[in-house]
Amino acid sequence: MSSSLTVLVLSTVALLLHYHVGITEADIGVNYVREGTYLPPPAMVVQLLKNNGIGKVRLLEPDLDVLDALADSGIDVTLGIPIQDIETIATSYREAMKWFNTYVLAHTNDINFQYITVGDMVVPGNWAKYVLPAMQNIQAVKELYQLSGLRVTTVVGTGILGSFDLPSSGAFSGEARTHIIGILQFLANTSSPLLVNVYPYFVYASDPTKVRLEYALGTSTIPLVQDGQLGYKTMLDAMVDAFYWAMEKENVSYVDVVVSESGWPSGGGGLVTTPQFAQAYNQHFVNKFMAMQSTPKRPDHYLEGFIFEMFNDDQKSPGIDQHWGLFNPDGTPVYPVFTEG
């Protein structure tokens, strides 16, 4: 084989594997937040995850007890750096190494860390300027330890796009562009995805006369929104594709999107916040991701996703904020989504 052909073959293989290094099968993920009354201890939560076939968990910030419980569980972990630590990590490589050694390096032999996320929806905002430097410092520490399978990224919400009607109109807001362009370049250079929080529920709840419920729930069997040649059955797909369109407008075409949060409240908000509607949305979510399905714009890039959240939280303000959980504190499901093994 000629040297030029060898390079072509290797380049093609690299492109096909882009952003899916180490991912060999589909797993659904959940967000695990230790807030609420009478929640079970971490070891019981980990067993609950395993019993229900949940293969990924996202922690918004480090918790040593949870990390200890996850050791040797086989569950992939996405670990967040909370907002109060971002500035210190951004301005000090030594502090970045200290954080990494404490929460990641101590468990690299018994936990598969999939993503380290710097902040949760802090772009745009007062802390946005620290996100990229913090990502760069964590990346440098990661490379020092030669942890090639771990990706460093951040989490953004749909507010970063401003308003959009069709996916193809997705574009980053002027305030967000100041910081997101450098972040996207970092992600492209390190083969890391952008994590996004997407909630069709809030779009539907804000204008139920304009948005069809089956489009928001993901239960439609036919396209309900047409964007050029692309037809959309679900708002989830449309929201994800809006990020792809926005990135392309910044000349970034090879950064994947991972859904870091999505869900539907089972109470606290009127007629559409019932266990039945929450079950319908999250069942579609689970089925889509377990089947390794994609979106209309990126049919060759299957999605990963995390449901928000593991438990209902009675310590939050009354209303829908208390009702996003999949499970009750005693481990029984709020509504059936998984088949317990």
**Percent of the residues in the chain that have a pLDDT greater than 90, as a whole number:** 85
Instruction: Give residue 22's pLDDT.
Output: 36
Is the sign of the CA dihedral 159, 160, 162, 165 positive or negative? Answer: negative
For the cut 80, the answer to whether the pLDDT of residue 163 exceeds it is no
Q: Model-level pTM greater than 0.85?
A: yes
Task: Assess contact for 135 and 85: CB atoms under 8 A.
Answer: no
Q: What is the mean pLDDT of residues 184-210?
A: 97
Mean pLDDT, the chain, integer: 91
CA distances from 86 to 157, 197, 256, 266 (A): 18, 19, 23, 33
288 vs 339: which has the higher pLDDT: 288
Indicate whether 26 pLDDT > 50: yes
Retrieve residue 111's tokens: 């936990």
Q: Which helix (H) or strand (E) holds 50?
A: helix 42-51
Model pLDDT for residues 201-228, shown as the tens digit of each residue: 999 999 999 999 999 999 999 999 999 9
Which pLDDT value is given to residue 25? Answer: 54
What's residue 16's pLDDT? 34
Which positions ≥6 away from 59 have C-beta within 8 Å? Answer: 32, 66, 67, 77, 78, 79, 80
DSSP state of 340: -
Whether residue 147 is predicted with pLDDT greater than 60 in this model: the reply is yes
Q: Which of 106-110, 173-177, 257-261, 313-317 is predicted least confidently?
A: 313-317
Over residues 278-312, the pLDDT tens digits come to 999 999 999 999 999 999 999 998 899 999 999 99
61 and 34 Cβ atoms separated by less than 8 Å: no
Q: Which is more confidently placed, 276 or 24?
A: 276
Name the more confident of 10 and 274.
274
SS3 content of the chain, % helix, strand, coil (to 5): 40, 15, 45
Residues paired with residue 80 on neighbouring β-strands, in sequence order: 117
307 sits in which H/E element:
strand 305-307
Q: What is the mean pLDDT of residues 113-127?
A: 97
Angle at 87 between CA 82 and CA 92, to 5 degrees: 115
Q: Which whole number is the average pLDDT over 63-90?
A: 98
59 confidence band (pLDDT: 50, 70, 90): very high
Q: Looking at residues 63-76, what average pLDDT do you find?
A: 98
Helix axes 128-144, 174-189, angle to 10 degrees: 10
